[in-house]
Amino acid sequence: MSILQLVVSLLAVSIMQRMAPHLSFARWLLCNGSLFRFKHPSEGELCALAGKQIPKTSRRQNGHGESKPLTVPKDIDLHLESAPVNVLDALVLRFFVEYQWLIDFAIYATGIYLFTEGYYSVVDASKEVNIASIWCVLTVFFCLYPLTLQSFVLTDLKLPEKFRCDLPHP
């Protein structure tokens, strides 16, 4: 195994560890301003549009009394404000951390692969171990982890129906 390949791999791991909190391609893909989310209206806005008064809590109840849920008709003229997705919005997504790590790792693995292939085209290294193939296998394994995790989460029977994906039984 070439010492140069090992040095470049260790350098890439070090750069990946140092740069991940500050510079992430995956975070830029989601939070660059091209994706938008809708802000939910406040309870006061919903009451005003529905023509109802804002429910007041009395001091005697001290927050322990049961209040009726606010019902709003479906045909109100509600305009939602849109806002670009930022990092704080993305952090609460269920698989965002795995997505970010996987995309960043795949980019670094692609860089290692391109460097190693360039190295093999310049130097006759037929007896050396190709470190780029190890990086590619790691990328495939790291791709399988979120997929299996997501499939277990979506088929979990303890989750409510709206979050679960029921598969037909054979």
> Bigger pLDDT: 140 or 20?
140
**Residue 117, in any domain of the structure:** yes
- Tell me, yes or no, if the pTM score tops 0.95: no
- Say how many domains are in the chain: 1
Cα–Cα distance for residue pair 118/124, rounded to 1 Å: 11
Task: Using pLDDT thresholds of 50, 70 and 90, give the confidence band for residue 155.
Answer: low
Q: Which domain holds residue 134?
A: 3-33+93-163
Least confident window among 7-11, 80-84, 121-125: 121-125
**Residue 119, in any domain of the structure:** yes
**Residue 144, in any domain of the structure:** yes
The owner of tokens 């791709």 is 143
Helix (H, G, I), strand (E, B) or coil at 36: strand
Which segment, 41-45, 48-52, 54-58, is predicted with the most confidence on average?
41-45
Cα–Cα distance for residue pair 101/24, rounded to 1 Å: 9
* Torsion angle defined by CA atoms of residues 62, 68, 69 and 70, in that order, rounded to the nearest 10 degrees: -100
**Residue 83, in any domain of the structure:** no
**Residue 129, in any domain of the structure:** yes
End-to-end CA distance of the chain: give it in Å, rounded: 49
